[in-house]
Structure 1
Amino acid sequence: MEPVTDLTQYGDALHRDPHPVYARLREQGPVHRVRLATPGGPWETWLVVGYGEARAALADPRLAKDTARIGEVPLDEQLIGKYLLTADPPQHTRLRGLVARAFTMRRVEQLRPRIQQITDELLDDMLPRGRADLIGSLAYPLPVTVICELLGVPQVDRAEFRKMSAEVVAPTGEDSERAATVRFAEYLTELIEDKRRAGPTDDLLSDLIRTTAEDGDRLSPQELRGLAYLLLIAGHETTVNLIGNAVLALLAHPAQLAALRADTTLLGAAVEETLRWDGPAHNATYRYAAEPLEIAGTRIAQNEGVLVGLTAAHRDPARYAEPDRFDIRRDTGGHLAFGHGIHYCLGAPLARLEGRIAIGTLLERAPGLALDGEPGEWLPGLLMRGVRSLPVRW
């Protein structure tokens, strides 16, 4: 029996700085049996920490996502419904095809002027103060405003949406996660029904309600709720942390910040290096072995769970030279921050666009930007990676 590495012993240190822990694991091998802390108590699973193995695992059809097949339906799916990250082909293929019809690259590019406008308005409010929490003042309100406008969430509902979303992605307790998910399910049901009654509008959720494939296939009410849930949460939580982690990394590396200020064409590369060096997703979402398999010689029994470690894989020296060095001129090709394979993130172009606009505009308008104390605590859990607050001054 494979020995179990107890990661609960590291406590909050695993959130603050997981890289030394993963480096020690990688030295021993690319796949480990680990014990993790969760709101429901300790949990054992397989963790993939090597880059090559992680990339292969993300695209391996034997690592399934639909846990209903093993009788373990996750809380959000029980309460809200099936969505892309809990589906396998052919169901996943069908759902993604219907969403892709409405959520196109053209639609994302059309958002550019509005994203710039929202960024400018947030900075107009923030900059006269001389100091602020960057997460609360820019990194959070920008993507949440964009995704809520894109999906047609009324302005009056957005404060409550923030509370529900934060509790779902970084739960402070098992009961609080359930309560937030129940509220989310009820809210989305009402929102979809309101849009059905109101008739066609130009938001994405209304388009999804009307979207029909060539064969007449349409999304069911439950599928609409699941997709709205995924788009709302995934559509902003990762971007909040992308912006926060990028600014934190640049301020902690003055030479890299100076290089970017001297050559703003490096902005896209700085975003990609952030995605590699300290990306917003700590691990990929849960998978399980639909059949017995081996990963790098480690036998995974049927129905056993597997976590693909994105943060761990991105610091693998077998893939990236000097992986602990933050270098905006690095070739980051092949990073896994948005996944790989059929579950590659649909919202990657939107996240990249928001990140470039937010970071570029901030640096242009706040030339004296600097840290104004220690960042807040790192998010709990092992899904998202980011800080709750980032005090800055200029």
Structure 2
Amino acid sequence: MAAPPAGDGPEPALFSYEFATDPYPAYAWLRTHAPVHRTTVPSGVDAWLVTRYADARQALADPRLSKNPAHHHSDKTGIPGERSAGLMTHLLNIDPPDHTRLRRLVSKAFTPRRVAAFAPRVQELTDSLIDGFADRGEADLIHEFAFPLPIYAICDLLGVPAEDQDDFRDWAAVMLHSSGGRPPDPRNHGKGPRGGVARAVKKMRAYLAELIHRKRAALGGGDAAADDLISALIRASDEGEKLTENEAAAMAFILLFAGFETTVNLIGNGTYALLTHPAERARLAADPGLLPSAVEELLRYDGPVELATWRFATEPLEIGGQRVAVGDPVLVVLAAADRDPARFADPDTLDLSRRDNQHLGYGHGIHYCLGAPLARLEAQTALGTLLRRLPDLRLAGETSELRWRGGLIMRGLRTLPVHFGRSL
């Protein structure tokens, strides 16, 4: 990936396909000339982009910036279909005290102890997926590895029966390959319309309602041993936590939606970064103990979430010297903040042993990503296993041939074709 300029030159064009391919030069320009920048995003919504680290960190924790879309007049700031499907009451759309209540319930699924207990299953899934293509000498690491791994993992945690998980994979694939609010890749005409996402969301909502009903019946019939997350949410509801069925379905939905795409991109972007930085890759292959710090650096360098999800001003406030009016949408650009030279030394250099690395890849404040421990586990397992089992892994073709999904919030590759020799 080309190093960004110092911030000089004309104002860059935002949200084009070229921008999606490499947004970092444009973000360098914004940090220098317009660090809090008013623009119109492709869906037609006018929003503030916050690009400097200090401003971004402040905005992410500012209680005057609400997550509730009711503070804005537009219905174009969320996931297509979530409103009509009755899936709005999830952690990305609510504020305290409801946010505090629901986060407390769901956080039990992501304790360090529970995540550590899930590690053998993640390793099993990882090895099984690699076994599926190891003898071919080539693969698309997005479709065959980075995508299915987190889907199957989050389905296991939620308690989706194995025979239903392929349906979830199909629905998730529609969401993943949506154009996501930016002009699509001109080489990929017609794929991933918003209407397709809305239909997938509705199908998932109907399935979740039926699954919740089945699990509630099983618990009522004495299946007290059920340890999945949906069963835990039902128990909490039945024990007086005031969790409605809509809230339970919305929580399961957003854990799936947010929990799989971020990890797909983390594994995909991370693998791509290692393949295009051979010296750093060799360091990591020689010293697997670097994996934890390597994943943190990959989150900072080219993380899975480009912009934090929508926030809306509930009162007039100032960010980076700009006055933000009541109701104004604010988008914190994590990708720009995590390359801010005012915060990170040599920010455009990939350094897998970077020590001072308080990146914002998973947010900051009360909305810090709840599933971050699981995503870190999956990324460390996936990358470590790839390097160990496919030591001569290499890109198939030129980097210019790779296609990036043009989502407003997420950043990730559509495909990652690779070649390799005999697996270990």
When normalised by structure 2's length, the TM-score is 0.86
1:384 is matched with 410
Deviation for aligned residue 1:187: 1.8
SS in 1 for 2:39: strand
Distance 2:140 2:329 in 1: 38
2:82 is matched with 76
**Higher alpha-carbon deviation: 343-352 or 125-134:** 125-134
Distance 2:175 2:11 in 1: 25
Distance 2:269 2:409 in 1: 15
Report if aligned partners of 1:270, 1:328 keep a CA contact under 8 Å in 2.
Answer: yes
SS in 1 for 2:37: strand
Asked if 1:35 is matched to 2:55, the reply is: no
1:355 is matched with 379
Q: Which deviations, in whole Å up to 9, do the C-alpha atoms of 1:302-352 show, x marking residues without a partner?
A: 100000001111111111122111111222521111110000111000000
2:62 is matched with 60
Deviation for aligned residue 1:15: 1.0
**Higher alpha-carbon deviation: 61-70 or 302-311:** 61-70
2:183 is matched with none
Distance 2:271 2:250 in 1: 32
- Alignment: residue pair count: 386
Distance 1:29 1:70 in 2: 24
Deviation for aligned residue 1:10: 5.3
Counterparts of 1:234-253 in structure 2, within 5 Å, are 234-253=258-277
2:121 is matched with 114
2:323 is matched with 299
Distance 1:110 1:192 in 2: 24
1:141 is matched with 148
Asked if 1:226 is matched to 2:250, the reply is: yes
Report if aligned partners of 1:7, 1:34 keep a CA contact under 8 Å in 2.
Answer: no
SS in 1 for 2:92: helix
Q: Which deviations, in whole Å up to 9, do the C-alpha atoms of 1:51-71 show, x marking residues without a partner?
A: 110011000001101122445
Runs of 5+ unmatched residues, structure 2: 1-9, 181-191
Q: Which deviations, in whole Å up to 9, do the C-alpha atoms of 1:100-141 show, x marking residues without a partner?
A: 234422211110111111111222222111111111222111
2:29 alignment partner, one of 24, 32, 43: 24
Asked if 1:98 is matched to 2:100, the reply is: no
Report if aligned partners of 2:148, 2:169 keep a CA contact under 8 Å in 1.
Answer: no
1:326 is matched with 350
Deviation for aligned residue 1:91: 1.0
SS in 1 for 2:230: helix
* CA RMSD between the two structures: 2.0
2:227 is matched with 202
**Higher alpha-carbon deviation: 17-26 or 194-203:** 194-203
Distance 1:37 1:28 in 2: 22
SS in 1 for 2:362: coil
When normalised by structure 1's length, the TM-score is 0.93
Q: 1:9 to 1:305 in 2, by over 3 A?
A: closer
Question: What's the % identity of the aligned pairs?
Answer: 50
Report if aligned partners of 2:306, 2:335 keep a CA contact under 8 Å in 1.
Answer: yes
Higher helix proportion (structure 1 or 2): 1
Deviation for aligned residue 1:363: 0.4
Runs of 5+ unmatched residues, structure 1: none
**Higher alpha-carbon deviation: 365-374 or 51-60:** 365-374
1:15 is matched with 20
Q: 1:213 to 1:104 in 2, by over 3 A?
A: farther
1:344 alignment partner, one of 342, 363, 368: 368
